[in-house]
Structure 1
Amino acid sequence: MKVAQYGTALAIVHAIANGMHGLAHIEIPVGLSLLQSSFVVIVIFLTPIIAAVLLWTQFYRLGSWLLLFSIAGSLLFGIYNHLIVISPDHLSQVSWQGWGLLFQITAILILIVDGLGCWIGIRALKTIQQPEEAL
């Protein structure tokens, strides 16, 4: 039960942070390619929600794996696009003023949430082997 609770809380915080970051993307604007947009919609937005729902069902193992992989994918996507490749999406290319402040804060928040989410996901998968053990 704790796995479902933590996983659901993570999915909600992840969705809020990414939603706010997406809003900043639109308002600045910082565009994404079709491939990037598809990844964001499928892996970063939809999959964690589906995973959180599955955590409350008999398919909780699948939900745990989906959550871990989607959050890890989000983390790698954020590291690559915000910290590595120099593009309009890189943190160094966006002002800290106006919508840029929201962009900067949420980009960093997403990295923290996703890093924590990966840790929780790994712990959850270990816990599933012993369902009564707490995180």
Structure 2
Amino acid sequence: MKIAQYGTTIAVIHAIANGMHGLAHVEIPVGLSLLQSSFVVVVIFLTPIVAAVLLWTQFYHLGSWLLLGSMAGSLLFGIYNHLIVISPDHLSQVSFAGWGLLFQITAILILIVDGLGCWIGGWALKTIQQPEEIL
């Protein structure tokens, strides 16, 4: 039950932070390629929601894997696009003025949330996979 609560909470925070970041992307504008947009929709937006739902069902093991995988994918996507490759999406290329401030804050917030999401997904899997003790 705790796993489902934490997993759902992190998925909701993840969705809100990414929604705000996406709004900043649109308003600045900082465009994404078709491949990047597809990744964002499937891995970053949809998969954590599916994972959170599954955590409350008999398929919680799959939900834990999906949570870990989606959060890790989102974390790597953010690190690569915001911190490594120099492009319009890199933090150094976006001004702190106007929508840029929201872009900057949410980009860092997403990295923190995704790191926590990875930890929660890993914790869930470790908890699920622990063998029961024989008395």
Normalised-by-shorter TM-score class: over 0.9
Please list, as runs of the form range in 1=range in 2, the aligned pairs for 1:1-135 lying within 5 A after superposition.
Answer: 1-130=1-130
RMSD after superposition = 1.3
Structure 1, unpaired ranges of 5+: none
Question: Structure 1 residues 60, 85: CA separation in 2 closer, same or farther (over 3 Å shift)?
Answer: same
In structure 2, how many angstroms separate the alpha carbons of the residues matched to 1:115 and 1:46? 18
In structure 2, how many angstroms separate the alpha carbons of the residues matched to 1:54 and 1:77? 24
In structure 2, how many angstroms separate the alpha carbons of the residues matched to 1:19 and 1:131? 39
Q: Which runs of 4+ in 1 moved over 6 A?
A: none
What TM-score results when the alignment is normalised by the length of structure 2?
0.95
In structure 2, how many angstroms separate the alpha carbons of the residues matched to 1:131 and 1:58? 18
Cα offset for 1:120? 1.3
In structure 1, how many angstroms separate the alpha carbons of the residues matched to 2:50 and 2:34? 22
Amino acid in the other structure paired with 1:72: A
Look at both structures and tell me which one has the larger radius of gyration over its CA atoms. Answer: 2
What TM-score results when the alignment is normalised by the length of structure 1?
0.95
In structure 2, how many angstroms separate the alpha carbons of the residues matched to 1:121 and 1:91? 27
Q: Which moved more, 1:20-29 or 1:116-125?
A: 116-125
Cα offset for 1:121? 1.1
Q: Paired residues, what number?
A: 132
In structure 1, how many angstroms separate the alpha carbons of the residues matched to 2:124 and 2:52? 12
What do the CA deviations read for 1:55-108 (whole angstroms, capped 9, x no partner)? 000000000000100000000000000000000000000000100000000000
Structure 2, unpaired ranges of 5+: none
Cα offset for 1:129? 2.5
In structure 1, how many angstroms separate the alpha carbons of the residues matched to 2:90 and 2:16? 21
